[in-house]
Structure 1
Amino acid sequence: MLYLVDASVFIFRAWYSVPVSLTDPDGNPVNALHGFARFLGDLIEAEAPTHLAVAFDESLATCFRSRIYPAYKANREPPPIDLKRQFALCRQVCEALGVATFASGEYEADDIIGTLAVRMRAQGRNVVVVTRDKDLAQLVRPGDAYWDYIGAARFGYEDIAARFGVLPERMACFLAVMGDAVDNIRGVPGIGRKTATLLFRHFASLVELYADLDAVLKLKLRNAGFVAGQLREHRDAAFLARRLTEIACDVPLDDAVLDSLERRPPDLAMLNDLYDAVGFGRLLRNQAERIAQGS
């Protein structure tokens, strides 16, 4: 089993939940680093994964989706400087703990996770996607799991529809039609979650939906005529949104990269040097030593 971690979810959570008063000797906040390091150590201790990778986001302003649609995520402010510097430190913690890390200026962490999932699944290895981002639910296939670590809930392939409303394979189309305010994707005006759910419980894809829009009129749907009309009028917007909501599973990664997904024993010297520099005490060091003993 390959565990694929969406780093941003856990770094941002730590940034907002761990007191900013936690600083290094120079007075720089290291709260997000501490929270993320604790999360990653806890995950390794609890699961003892043989294969583990962490994907970081470095493409807020440079992702290929922004070239397709310049307004994509344009509603988001860049992370504060005090947080941004901690992203690099979080990546160092991963490396010291023996965990492979990935980032790209062209692709988002979701795309890296999707590509690794597809490539490793082709080798017969199922995946556990560790996140709270609904977008990543589209990657789950039979034998995989979506792990909402923060909510302490795991969802298998059969559970995704009950949790999010539609099957994983239909998730990108579902998000495209109803839009996604978090990512500044407009979708089809007038169609919300409930209507989108009904549509993609019936239709397998956006292509199938638009091949038979008249069938929308036969669904048990309030204002079916209005919905069909909106879909017809905003066809181009729906297909544009679909290009944004679909995770790219073809990020160019060298075959040798796949060998790096096997977790290595922690480099305690590297980790202690880092923890010395940021002023961390025994809690995380003791955890790393336990992980090393179990490797």
Structure 2
Amino acid sequence: MPPPPGRLVLLDSASLYFRAFHGVPESVTAPDGTPVNAVRGFLDSVAFLVTTYRPTRLVACWDDDWRPAFRVRALPTYKAHRVGADGGEDAPPALGPQVDVIVEVLAALGIARVGAPGYEADDVVATLAAREATGGGDPVDVVTGDRDLFQLVDDATGVRVLYCGKGVRKAETVTQDWLHGKYAVATGAAYADMAVLRGDPSDGLPGVAGIGEKTAAALITRHGDLAGLLAAAQDPASNLSPGQRRKLLDARDYLAAAPVVVQTARDVPLPAVHDALPVAPADPDRLARLVDRWGLASSVERVLTALAGVRAG
């Protein structure tokens, strides 16, 4: 008999643990009273995803750099409003220590975790998805609450996004048809070009003044891509209105820089990743200590049960 079909799940980990932190009450604590709401929520999300989508491989993709220098050089406003007094990310004080616990638990479970200096998790996700497509590998599910990763959607190579904007349990499956129905763009690449025009205040991207989401999608669809649209803006005989041409030409510096910020890097130098779902915890003794220290018995048991369920077929 042929082996069962494989599936690779790539977690946008920061997106998941931030959502867990804000979605699970801080009253969820370890025995000593330390909040573990993000840890518990993250692990419960992993258990649900493994049970529901039954991947054969899984990678927790990590932000080794939440605001990479190459993006800040291109557009200094990138995430500038999120910089804290110490120069790092302005995150809730109770979250940082929990991220360290998540790292330890993933290692003890044997679930792959991958980051790269100077890159965001988005870039790690994109690089691993591209590797899979180039090598003719398994279909890929990208789990995120960040719309930026819609640009990776590609029906031909089997890359889809499980968008958990309303929570992991209400994840929407984003395909090219979904993108067309929601945003009137036909591909993930067109979504990225539309996002440049539209902008994203949450990331410090102003967009092109006077061009909203619907107009942006229509312009990209009509002109093929951002390069085609910019060429049309420079042509007085194009079918752009004088107002649209002026708005685009006034924003030419932004439009030259923003794609560096919006588009994911797909050539991050990553090592080979052992991403098969673990058949047993990599370090049972360490896992037991972490469970006792942080009061994680129920969440870790849910993950172990989910992993056993996939192995059992």
TM over 0.5: yes
Q: Does residue 278 of structure 2 align to residue 272 of structure 1?
A: no
In structure 2, distance between residues paired with 1:187 and 1:216: 25
Equivalent pair of 2:48/2:306 in contact (CA under 8 Å): no
Q: Say if 1:160 and 1:215 are closer, same or farther in 2 by CA, change over 3 A.
A: farther
Q: Say if 1:185 and 1:285 are closer, same or farther in 2 by CA, change over 3 A.
A: closer
In structure 2, distance between residues paired with 1:265 and 1:240: 45
Q: Does residue 115 of structure 2 align to residue 103 of structure 1?
A: yes
Q: Percent identity?
A: 34
Equivalent pair of 2:67/2:120 in contact (CA under 8 Å): no
Equivalent pair of 2:9/2:59 in contact (CA under 8 Å): yes
Matched to 1:272, the amino acid is A
In structure 1, distance between residues paired with 2:295 and 2:36: 9
Choose from 184, 207, 214 the match for 1:187.
Answer: 207
In structure 1, stretches of 5+ residues that fail to align are: none
In structure 1, distance between residues paired with 2:30 and 2:204: 36
State the match for 1:164 in structure 2. 183
Choose from 252, 272, 293 the match for 2:269.
Answer: 252
Equivalent pair of 1:63/1:108 in contact (CA under 8 Å): no
| Alignment TM-score, normalising by the size of structure 1 | 0.89
- Runs of 4+ aligned residues of structure 1 deviating over 6 Å after TM superposition are none
Q: Say if 1:130 and 1:216 are closer, same or farther in 2 by CA, change over 3 A.
A: farther
| Alignment TM-score, normalising by the size of structure 2 | 0.85
Q: What SS is found at the alignment partner of 1:23?
A: coil
Equivalent pair of 2:150/2:174 in contact (CA under 8 Å): no
Instruction: Give the aligned length.
Output: 287
Equivalent pair of 1:64/1:107 in contact (CA under 8 Å): no
In structure 1, distance between residues paired with 2:44 and 2:193: 36
Task: Indicate the RMSD between aligned Cα atoms, in angstroms.
Answer: 2.1
State the match for 1:114 in structure 2. 126
**CA shift at 1:161, angstroms?**
2.1
**CA shift at 1:121, angstroms?**
1.1
State the match for 2:87 in structure 1. none
State the match for 1:243 in structure 2. 260
In structure 2, distance between residues paired with 1:75 and 1:200: 29
What does 1:1-295 correspond to in 2, within 5 Å? 1-77=7-83, 78-125=90-137, 126-142=139-155, 143-149=158-164, 150=167, 151-166=170-185, 167-213=187-233, 214=235, 218=239, 224-254=241-271, 256-257=272-273, 260-267=274-281, 268-281=284-297, 283-291=298-306, 293-294=308-309, 295=311
Q: What SS is found at the alignment partner of 1:82?
A: coil
